[in-house]
Amino acid sequence: MVDARALSQTRRGASASALGTAGRLWRYKWIQRGVVWGIIVVAWQTFGLIRGPFYFPTFTDTILGFVRLVVEGDLIVMAASLQQLLVGFALAVVIGIPVGLILGGSRSGEAVLGHYINAWYVTSKEALLPLMIILLGVGFEYRVGIVFAFSALYVIVNVATGMRDVSPSLIETARSFGASRRQVIVKIALPSVVPFMFAGIRLGYGFAIKGMVIAELWVLGGTGGLLADLALQRELDRYFAIALIIALVGVAGSSIIRTLERHITPWGAGAMRTTERRAV
Amino acid sequence: MRIPGVDVRFAIIRIASTAALFTAWEWYGSQPGQFALPPPSKVFPALVESIVDGGLVQAAIGTLWVGAVGFSIAAVLGVTLGLVIANVSWADNTLTPLVNAAYAAPITMLVPIIGIYTGLGFTGKVTLVVLFAFFVILINTEAGVRQVREDLVETARSFEASRIQIARHVMLPSTMPFILNGLRLGVGRAVRGAIVAELLLLVSNLGLFLIRAGATFNMPRLMAGIFFTMLMGYAVMWFAGYLERRSLRWRGEATY
């Protein structure tokens, strides 16, 4: 246990007083994490033991739940969901970037598209579920469609914001030094838009997962169907394990995008906080 | 002709774009055999009818009430915990990774089990709304405290300002816009949370309206419900934005 490790190190620091050493150790980030997360795990375990597995699985039950996921073949179901998620997300990126460039880059583009994007932004996408199911069925197209509706918006809006953010004085300066149109785009507009683009892609990825989960919960298929079944049968250990995996898929994907971002745009990485922006 | 504050060319393009979409939609929707996408000439009468007979308005009020209760709880919890995390370094070190993970995770995945802990009634719906709105408020509050300029705090301190004076006159004015931004985003999420709760957790209000229309294949009514949801979202977000700008008037400049 992590608490025990902290204690034993306290005992080893014989020269200083026990409290002083603990105080010094407490300054380390990972010691703090070990202690606080350890407390959370212990509390979780205790609560689970008291309330029983039909109410709240313990920490160890949840870990064993991962093993049961493998044995029961649930991972195959989840992989299929992930594949549909990635198709929808890829579509959102491929379509979202050019639309965002048009929306943010030209006044007429904004006049034609701006109010639709705004309407899309304020509509709760969940309300589209009963319509999408009639339009697209319950299979592949429906799931990809929902994921697209959830995530493309954020790519579009962030790319558009980036286009509007390109500094006019920089462009003026480049022009007055005789830069060609192509040079202005490649050397000035692009470097300033790409960090926004990555912020949009990262945000869009998070919403793609949200869309996927709700799409499958709605039709009780794939991972969503699995979750609903497990909840009904009160197999909460597997349920918690799946929930943790979904959260992990979110965190992992987002850090992959962040790593890409750091390699491609070292000047902008980290400058962009991933937060929702106003559409127009 | 020139109207101050309005770019006429811009407005004309916008109106033309809307007219073109509606014409195309009307044409497509009126094709024989076209069933799933009814034309506007059927959707808007259905919208008016649903509003007049009271069903839609009552449903929307019910949904917004769930959203409002959940949002209030999320606002209090989110701002408080955000202030704590931003000011206590060990809480920041230990809780921020968990908060970030929870912020990115789809809250909807808890829908099938939330009933076990809260029951399926009002409490369950409100709990879902709280979970939807809480994290974005917390994260924005934290970001607000973090960007307070250290030099201003130092200056205030060197003029012997008390802790309370620093909090009141230095920290608060520069944190406030971030908190309000978080609250505005939280409003949007609370509305979404309420709609999710009423579609998936306990079918009622707007969720019931949409599901009933969809299940009976009453397409004009379904489209009217979606259109109304959009208008409701627009009204709520506009109002939240208005309150935000109003609360920031003392700054003398608009943040947006």
Give yes or no for residue B7 having a pLDDT over 90.
no
Q: With respect to residue A202, please indicate whether it lies within any of the assigned structural domains.
A: yes
CA distance A258 to A247: 17
Check which CATH number belongs to the domain holding A195 and give it: 1.10.3720.10
- Beta strands (DSSP E) in B121-235 are none
Minimum distance, in Å, between the CA of residue B226 and any CA atom of chain A: 6
**Hey, is B6 helix, strand or coil?**
strand
Whether residue A247 sits in one domain with residue A108: yes
Distance from CA of A229 to the nearest CA of B (A): 9
- SS3 for B23? helix
Query: Whole-number mean pLDDT of chain B?
Result: 90
**Inter-residue long-range contacts of B253-256, CB under 8 Å, 24+ positions, other chains counted:** B255/B177, B255/B181, B256/A278
Q: Is the dihedral of CA B137, B140, B142, B148 positive or negative?
A: negative
Q: What is the pLDDT of residue A105?
A: 84
Nearest by CB to A213, which of B108, B185, B191?
A: B108
One domain for residues A88 and A177? yes
Q: What residues of chain A lie within 8 A of the CB of B24, using their CB?
A: none
**Which of B36, B101, B191 shows the shortest C-beta gap to A124?**
B191
Determine, for residues B109 and A243 on separate chains, whether the beta-carbon distance falls below 8 Å: yes
For B108, the closest of A35, A130, A217 (CB atoms) is A217
- Is A84 found in the same domain as A196? yes
- Three-state secondary structure call for residue B3: strand
Residue B185 pLDDT > 70? yes
pLDDT of A65 higher than 70: yes
The number of C-beta contacts closer than 8 angstroms across A and B is: 144
Q: Give the whole-angstrom CA distance, residue A210 versus residue B105.
A: 8
The distance of A40 to chain B (nearest Cα, Å) reads 11
Span of A124-128, A258-262, B46-50, B165-169 with lowest mean pLDDT: B165-169
Q: Given pLDDT bands bounded at 50, 70 and 90, which one contains residue B1?
A: very low
Q: Please tell me the distance from the alpha carbon of residue B120 to that of residue B71, in angstroms, as a whole number.
A: 19
Neighbours of B23 (CB within 10 A): 12
Instruction: For A226-238, give one letter per residue: b (16+ CB within 10 A) or e.
Output: bbbebbeeebbbb
Please state, in angstroms and rounded to a whole number, the distance separating the CA atoms of residues B186 and B194. 12
Q: For residue A212, is it within any domain? A: yes
Task: Give me the interface pTM, i.e. the ipTM.
Answer: 0.88
Residue A22 lies in a domain: yes
Residue A270 region, left (φ>0) first, then alpha (ψ -120 to 50), else beta?
A: left
**Binning pLDDT at 50, 70 and 90, where does residue B252 land?**
low
DSSP SS3 for B205: helix
Question: CA B226 to CA A149: how far, in whole Å?
Answer: 14
Q: Which residue from B110, B159, B100, B112 is spatially nearest to B130, judged by alpha carbons?
A: B110
Phi, psi torsion values for B3, nearest 5 degrees:
-105, 130
Q: Which fold has domain B42-249?
A: MetI-like fold (1.10.3720)
Residues of chain B neighbouring A127 (CB-CB closer than 8 A):
195, 199, 206, 210, 225-226, 229
Beta carbons within 10 angstroms of residue B246's beta carbon: 10
Cross-chain CB nearest to B14 (options A26, A111, A251) = A111
Average pLDDT estimate for B153-164: 88
A164-188 core/surface letters (b: 16 or more CB in 10 A; e: else):
eebeeeeeeebeeeebeeeebeeeb
- Show contacts of A261-267: CB within 8 Å, 24+ apart: A261/A195, A261/A198, A261/A202, A264/A194, A264/A198, A265/A191, A265/A194, A265/A195, A265/A198, A267/A191, A267/A195
Mean pLDDT, residues A249-278: 73
Nearest CA in chain A to B215: A130
Asked if B200's CB is within 8 angstroms of A217's CB, the reply is yes
- Residues A36 and A171 grouped into a single domain: no
Q: Tell me which chain B residues have a C-beta less than 8 angstroms from the C-beta of A141.
A: none
Measure in Å the smallest separation between the Cα of B103 and chain A Cα atoms: 9
pLDDT at residue A125 greater than cutoff 90: yes
> Six-digit token pair at B254?
């608009």
Nearest to B108 among A108, A214, A231 (CB): A214
Distance of CA A31 to the CA centre of its chain: 27
B28: distance to nearest CA of chain A, Å? 14
Take residue A90 and report the two structure tokens written for it.
């890829």
Residues of B in contact with A114 (CB under 8 A): 14
Mutate which of A33, A89, A124 to disrupt the B interface (most B C-beta within 10 Å)?
A: A124
Which of these, A249, A238, A154, lies nearest to A202 by C-alpha position?
A154
Query: Is B233 a residue whose pLDDT tops 60?
Result: yes
**Alpha carbon of A177: minimum distance to chain B alpha carbons (Å):** 32
Q: Nearest chain A residue to B211 by CA: give it.
A: A130
- Asked whether residue A45 falls in the same domain as residue A139, the answer is no
Contacts of A218 in chain B (CB under 8 A): 199-200
Write down the pLDDT at residue B167.
Answer: 83
Arithmetic mean of pLDDT, B42-48? 92
Say if A277 falls within a structural domain: no
> Does A111 share its domain with A210?
yes
* DSSP at B197: I
> Do A22 and A96 fall within a single domain?
no
Phi, psi of A267 (to 5 degrees): -80, -25
Please tell me the distance from the alpha carbon of residue B25 to that of residue A78, in angstroms, as a whole number: 38
For B161-170, the pLDDT digits (tens) are 888 888 888 8
Q: Between chains, do A33 and B93 touch, taking CB under 8 Å as contact?
A: yes
- A126 sits in which H/E element: none
User: Mutating which of B109, B189, B227, B255 best tests the A interface, going by the most A Cβ atoms within 10 A?
Assistant: B109
Same domain, A45 and A114: no
Q: Which domain holds residue A107?
A: 70-264
Nearest to A227 among B109, B192, B226 (CB): B109
Contact A111 B214 (CB under 8 A): no
Determine the straight-line distance between the first and last CA of chain A, rounded to whole angstroms: 52
Q: What is the Cα–Cα distance from B78 to B19, expressed in whole angstroms? A: 43
Do A154 and A89 reside in the same domain of the chain? yes
CB contact under 8 Å between A275 and B185, yes or no, is: yes
> Smallest Cβ distance to A130: which of B188, B222, B230?
B222
- What pLDDT does residue A183 have? 86
Give the total number of structural domains in chain A. 2
CB B8 within 8 A of CB B2: yes
**Are A39 and A153 contained in the same domain?**
no
- Which pLDDT band, with edges at 50, 70 and 90, does A157 fall under? very high
A126, A131, A243 member nearest B222 (Cβ): A131
Distance from CA of B17 to the nearest CA of A (A): 5
Which residue ranges make up each domain of chain B?
A: 42-249
**Predicted local confidence at residue A28, as pLDDT:** 85
Chain A: give the shortest CA distance to residue B197, in Å. 10
Residues A189 and A116 sit within 8 Å (Cβ to Cβ): no
CB < 8 Å to A33, chain B: 93-94, 97
Four-CA torsion A101, A104, A108, A114, nearest 10 degrees: 110
Nearest chain B alpha carbon to A244: B105
Closest CA to B137 of B177, B181, B92: B181
A123 vs B113, B206, B229: nearest CB: B229
Model confidence pLDDT, tens digit, residues A193-223: 998 999 999 999 999 999 999 999 999 999 9
Phi and psi at residue B160, to the nearest 5°: 60, 35
**Alpha-carbon distance values, A142 to A16, A130, A212 (Å):** 65, 11, 10
